[in-house]
Structure 1
Amino acid sequence: MTKRLARLVICFFYSATVAFSQTTSSLWLDDLPTKSFSEGIPAVLPKTTAAGDSIVMHGTYFNRGVGVNATSILAFFLDGKATEFTALVGVDDKGIKELPHRFYVIGDRKILFDSGDMRLGDEPKNVAVPLNGIKRLGLLVKVDDAGRTKVYSNWANARLVVRDNYLPQTIPNTDERYILTPPTPKTPKINSARVFGATPGNPVLYTIAATGERPMRFSAKGLPAGLSLDVQTGLITGKVVQRGTYKVTLTARNAFGQATQNLNLKIGDAIALTPPIGWNGWNSWARNIDREKVIASAKAMVRMGLSQHGWTYINIDDAWQGQRGGKFNAIQPNEKFPKFREMVDFIHRLGLKVGVYSTPMITSYAGYVGGSSNLKDGGFPDSIQANKRAFRYVGNYRFETQDARQLAEWGIDYLKYDWRIDVPSAERMSVALKNSGRDIFYSISNSAPFASVTDWVRLTNSYRTGPDIRDSWNSLYVSAFTLDKWAPYAGPGHWNDPDMMILGNVTTGTQLHPTRLTPDEQYSHVSLFSLLSAPLLIGCPIEQLDAFTLNLLTNDEVIEIDQDPLGKSARLLREENGVQIWLKPLEDGSFAVGLFNIGDFGKTPESYFRWGDETAKSFTFDLANVGLNGHYRLRDVWRQKTLGVVETSFKTEIRHHGVVLLRLFPKK
């Protein structure tokens, strides 16, 4: 036998041995934790439709599969260890008749299957796609649903053939978590809002937030009668009876120097003159929230220095509510929240504010006591608790006045009111809060109809502009990058709310896990929310913040853009070569500009997924194209670095799904 022939024989037996050792097996998609692979917003459910019903297409029932709603994005990391994907796809028989759905299977940027348009009543189509060598797999259903519900379609009998019992993973998120913002200096810097509104005769709680070495002493010149300052904590409390605008000068001093800031204190009919900035517990703990977790969050807000940058609210979401009772026959806290008023007082002493959740429905979304009932006394018997979903509607007897008075007596500062929003329910609670004897920020949720935006401006302090946010680029894009039409309605006292922030460790649909946003996407997230003058509500456990996320949340120049007293929302002025240009005018005559590399997201099936080979884009920002004429001093906001003076254009690199956030100061 020649040496060449011998080598061929050895190679043959080696290849055969490897092939034999790599056994394959079928893996039903509905046996996987499907929610963890979903990067869309609506529900994704195993073995049922997205509504929880049986999967039925063209009259045929299916016991296996994954049901999705509207545009759906499922992303899997296969690492080359799958050989085939098979399924039957189509519109569910309970879906919407006239809407076309289009199914795609995409592997490593290549479209492997395209169903073409499919409608209700069409026969399901077979999918049989080889996956040898594919590392990243995307399953996309594209529907132009225009906000309509019940847009149900299915991946029936969906399964993967994998080697050696491999289990698909979520898409890796291992990009460098680079820190841009420099550390805060030891010298004092005041970071609290420069305008504050309160109602005559109602309690005032305002904290002078300041960074710098402790100990620090505070002073306030020009405080109106009725207010006092704690010089050690910077906490201003009391009541002001006389209407008017009071010019107050705040000062913070330590061993390294002093800082001053002017405050316009407006006593009148308007509160919430800047967007709220704080924390909400739902995306941290969901139904598992309790007194200990809330207190731990408040302590962490102070201990980690967030309160020094102006972070204020500690908001308890759904799952605190118990039975009605007390002197107002109002919702009382359940067994997870003993000594409720004591907890509120403790948080106030830290210089923070407290929020809670309620709903005008009989039951909340988590199944707890709501603000109405079909029983005159508002009772919540076992018959309701046994079938909570059946009582997600507004009952015959409503208790807005009683509940608002109870919130005021406890010292609550913020109410998140959550349901499929209607104007009458919103108005009843608005009136009740204004008559409660306390200034309570009023936030309504979720998916406020745009057609009634003038009512939301009139009645509320913030209104959720869309569905619940998820920690994916698609959800962030839908929640924030589409808000330009809402922009003219935002302003002091009434803010467009794209939902909580999806940074850190979150529980959006699955167990607590690190956000799936890349570091670049997280910079874009915080930048755009600030440009939009959106409420900034941290959605992760504060005590678990790492250095990268804490750095994202403590750039005072970014927060200042969000808290600017002018209260103008940025507008989307142009989109050029996959880069969106958002511009926001600020009170001092300067402009904040966000240059976002959105990568033509949504324009091709491939653009819905992250393939791991994305690159930065070179971009020239032409000032004249957005109406900026003259000379401007240019500042990189994230790096807190002045870049010089520009007149015509500025050239930069923008990372994929990343941002360059600028502030332009006119030069005379």
Structure 2
Amino acid sequence: MKELATALFLLPMLMTTILPSTQAQTPAGTSPEFWKWAQKPPMGWNSWDCFATTVTEAQTKAQADYMAEKLALYGWQYIVVDIQWYESGATSFEYRANAPLEMDEWSRLQPASNKFPSAAGGKGFKALADYVHSKGLKFGIHMMRGIPRQAVTRNTPIKGTKLHAADIADTHSTCPWNPDMYGVDMTKPGAQEYYDSLYAMFASWGVDFVKVDDLSRPYHQAEIEAIRRAIDKTRRPIILSTSPGETPVTSGAHVQQHANMWRISDDFWDDWSALFTQFKRLDDWTPYRGPGHFPDADMLPLGAIRQVPGYGGGPWTRFTQDEQRTMMSLWAIVRSPLMMGGDMTKNDDFTLSLLTNKEVIEVNQNSNGNRQLFHRDGLIAWIANDPNGPDKYLAVFNTGDALTLDIKNAVFRSDLLTRQTPGHGVEVELDITEAKKLFLMVDDGGDNFTADHFDWSEPRLIGPQGEFKLTELPWIKATAGWGQPSTKTAVGGKPMRIDGKQVAYGIGTHANSIIEFDLPPGYTKFKAFAGLDEGGTSQPNGATVRAMVFTHSPYIQQESATVPVTWQELGFNGPVRVRDLWQRKDLGVFSDQVFIVLKPHASVLYRITPVKAP
């Protein structure tokens, strides 16, 4: 038996096969016709992670040029323009309430011509789609669920009817994070006609892929069905992607009959805790994964992301190389759609290598029987079958942290803080006599929801010489699960506010967060109010955290883990040959098992081939 070191790992994904067809009523127990349009997980690029609401025609063409030259050979196919292409003044990751939107006379949003010049004169995305198609690629757009609020205010007509926007809008059905749309009441005459006219327009532009947001959480079944009908009436094979998650697993049987891919989580970013939570979600969705219908673990935040203001974290992925390979291995073995989120024109060699490994792409595009093999105290394995023979694929992950938290050493630990907590927070007063370090920590309270905006309000040190504002002391290190800690604003960029009151001074952050200070001598007390910022409590879900304070390092160093895997677990009874797909090399023949040595957050992806007896 041999000991195998952690392998290098990358992953691109192969393209979707699209077969022109229409979707009739699907009899119970049969496969929808639209599944044929995406027999393999779609592979492409989406503009959100790098350009947010600001993407332009020139930037989109540059991505298409890059994909055609460097990635199409590996199966990358879709170029998708994300949100607010119809908002001429959009400048960041934030949305402007009541902003004027480009719209035609039939209540349908149009590309803003200052960002997409070829759309001027009512031409829509036709010219841009033609450009993408000329590169041998396919073109996609993002849409919000519903009808523009602007259309309802102006009461513009619905094409093909004598009805108007106000006749079909449900003004009580709104998106909590985007101000552009009202929901459509599908019980009203004209509602289906609105969606029909919208998707007929998309088809006339040459759109091949539509991502529809504010659709899956909560699950808007009636509008999902309306969009499905509208796409099918166009007689164009338009891939339907629903967003955001977490799509309820209880709706799995329904969503797979109406969409090609659906989000399993909220927006996924380059944070390890977010990646860790995808493991369970992807396991939960296993019964609903198959050709033409794929649970979507979201875009790949690789390379040059966050290229515009409004979202903290820096202009390059925060994932380590091990974490990037782990993400790619997981997306491959579970057959998640692969949508690159970074500005591809700025890819470095490592990022490109993650997108151009044919053997890893093969796992994503053509394996079957994908399932979790085991989960042993954070050591996780998935397997899948090679459909062309007896080989199997094996992915093994060490999801443990290099530094794990020992909360028993906290000198202060709050109860769970929620929007029901009086004052949305808790007073903190601690004896720090002789302490040389201070660590302020916030965790997500165990619900893994990403609306945990938090403020350390008026943090101060007290001693014989008086009070000293902690915000005047530079920290040694500061992390946040979303954005970046700041002493100037809340993590979302707005003034810090807790329970309706503005914070005089403080540190805005987001769980999971830890901020480390070296303390000056002579101070004996630490005081603060630890509270939920209104950036979280104003949202309909989440905003549940725990606050902790340490005066010594809260971390325990973890070593690499050895993961034994027997061939019987994989269904083999004899020796096998092991090939490392990231290193692209054979590791040898093993008689009955291997011992895989993995650093925290690292992974391997192997092809296992049975060896015939001589």
Corresponding residue for 1:592? 393
Mark the CA change 1:489 to 1:319 in structure 2 (over 3 Å): closer, same or farther.
Answer: same
Contact kept in structure 1, 2:21 and 2:34, CA below 8 Å: yes
Distance 1:359 1:289, change over 3 A: same
Match of 1:401 in 2: 196
Give the Cα–Cα distance (whole angstroms) in 2 for the partners of residues 572 and 348 of structure 1. 38
Aligned to 2:237: 439
Could you tell me which residue of structure 1 aligns to residue 226 of structure 2?
428
Aligned-partner Cα distance in 2 for 1:380–1:287: 25
What is the SS of the residue equivalent to 1:274? coil
SS class of match (1:332): coil
The change in CA–CA distance for 1:627 and 1:369 in structure 2 (over 3 A counts) is farther
Aligned residue type for 1:199: P
* Cα distance change on mapping 1:583 and 1:360 into 2, 3 Å: same
- RMSD over aligned CA atoms reads 3.5
Q: Aligned in 2, Cα 1:593/1:441: closer, same or farther, shift over 3 Å?
A: same
- CA-to-partner distance for each residue in 1:158-215, whole Å, 9 max, x for gaps? xxxxxxxxxxxxxxxxxxx996679xxxxxxxx966x83513489xxxxxxxxxxxxx
Q: For 2:402 and 2:265, how far apart are their aligned partners in 1?
A: 19
Please show how residues 69-468 of structure 1 align to structure 2 within 5 Å.
196-200=17-21, 270-303=36-69, 305-321=70-86, 322-325=101-104, 330-335=108-113, 336-339=115-118, 340-363=125-148, 375=155, 377=157, 392-396=181-185, 398=191, 399-419=194-214, 420=217, 421-447=219-245, 448-468=247-267
| 2:403–2:558 Cα contact (<8 Å) kept | no
Aligned length: 408
Evaluate the alpha carbon distance shift between residue 373 and residue 557 of structure 1 in structure 2; reply closer, same or farther with a 3 A threshold: farther
2: CA distance between counterparts of 1:300 and 1:389? Answer: 31
Preserved CA contact (<8 Å) 1:631 1:647: yes
Distance 1:357 1:657, change over 3 A: same
Distance 1:602 1:497, change over 3 A: farther
2:84 and 2:39 map into 1 onto residues whose CA distance is 29
Q: In structure 1, what is the equivalent of residue 294 of structure 2?
A: 495
Deviation at 1:392, TM superposition (A): 4.9
Q: Supply the AA of the counterpart residue of 1:667.
A: V
2:591 is the alignment partner of 1:623: no
SS of the equivalent of 1:635 reads strand
The 8 Å contact of residues 490 and 567 in structure 1, kept in 2 or not, is answered as: no
SS of 2:183's partner is: coil
Distance 1:453 1:268 in 2: 17
Distance 1:334 1:307, change over 3 A: same
Q: Which has the larger radius of gyration?
A: 1
Q: Which amino acid aligns with 1:486?
A: W
Identity of aligned residues (%): 28
1:74-103: CA deviations, max 9, x gaps? xxxxxxxxxxxxxxxxxxxxxxxxxxxxxx
Q: Is the 8 A contact 1:582 1:593 kept in 2?
A: yes
Q: 1:405 to 1:640 in 2, by over 3 A?
A: same
Check conservation: 1:329, 1:402, Cα contact below 8 A.
no
Between 1 and 2, higher relative CO (CA 8 Å, sep ≥ 6) is seen in: 2
Match of 2:277 among 452, 457, 478: 478
| CA separation of 1:601 and 1:369: change in aligned 2, threshold 3 A | farther
Report what 1:64 is aligned to: none
Q: Distance in 1 between matches of 2:358 and 2:53?
A: 32
Distance in 2, matches of 1:374 and 1:628, equals 67
Corresponding residue SS for 1:537:
strand
| Residues 41 and 294 in structure 2, CA contact (< 8 A), matched pair in contact too | yes
Q: Which has the higher strand share?
A: 1
Distance 1:350-1:361 versus aligned 2 partners, 3 A rule? same
- Aligned partner of 2:382 in structure 1 is 582
CA–CA distance in 2 between the matches of 1:301 and 1:440?
20
CA distance in 1 between counterparts of 2:36 and 2:10 reads 34
Q: State the shift of 1:271 in Å.
A: 1.4
**Contact 1:574 / 1:581 at 8 angstroms: preserved in 2?**
yes
Measured after TM superposition, the shift of residue 427 of structure 1 is 0.7
Post-superposition CA distance 1:569-588 (Å, at most 9, x none)? x3222123531111112212
TM normalised by structure 1 equals 0.56
Shift of 1:361: 2.8
- Alignment check: 8 A CA contact 1:571 1:583 kept: yes
Q: Counterpart of 2:599?
A: 655
Does the C-alpha gap of structure 1 residues 369 and 478 become closer, same or farther in structure 2, counting only changes over 3 Å? farther
Q: Take 1:423 and 1:479, find their aligned partners in 2: how far apart are those partners? A: 24
Helix, strand or coil at the partner of 2:319: coil
2:582 maps to which of 638, 642, 652: 638
1:339-397 Cα deviation digits (max 9, x unpaired): 2311111111111111001122345xxxx979x8893526899xx99x99566540456
Q: Distance in 2 between matches of 1:442 and 1:580?
A: 31
AA of the residue aligned to 2:51: W
Deviations 1:501-559 (A, max 9, x none): 12112229326521111111111000000111000000010111111111111111111
Report Cα offsets for 1:587-622 as digits up to 9, x if no partner: 123211111011179996669789695543233222
* In 2, Cα distance between equivalents of 1:485 and 1:605: 29
> Is 1:280–1:317's contact at 8 Å kept on the other side of the alignment?
yes
Report if aligned partners of 1:199, 1:267 keep a CA contact under 8 Å in 2.
Answer: no
Structure 1: unaligned runs, 5 residues or longer = 1-176, 183-190, 203-265
User: Counterparts of 1:373 and 1:459 in 2: how far apart (Å)?
Assistant: 31
**Counterpart of 2:305 in structure 1: which amino acid?**
V
Aligned to 1:526: 328
CA distance in 1, matches of 2:116, 2:255: 31
- Contact kept in structure 1, 2:401 and 2:558, CA below 8 Å: no
Partner of 1:120: none
1:300 Cα shift?
1.7
Q: Which runs of 5+ in 2 are unaligned?
A: 1-5, 24-31, 87-100, 119-124, 159-163, 408-442, 444-511, 515-554
2:10–2:360 contact (8 Å) kept in structure 1: no
**Contact kept? 1:619, 1:652, Cα under 8 Å:** yes
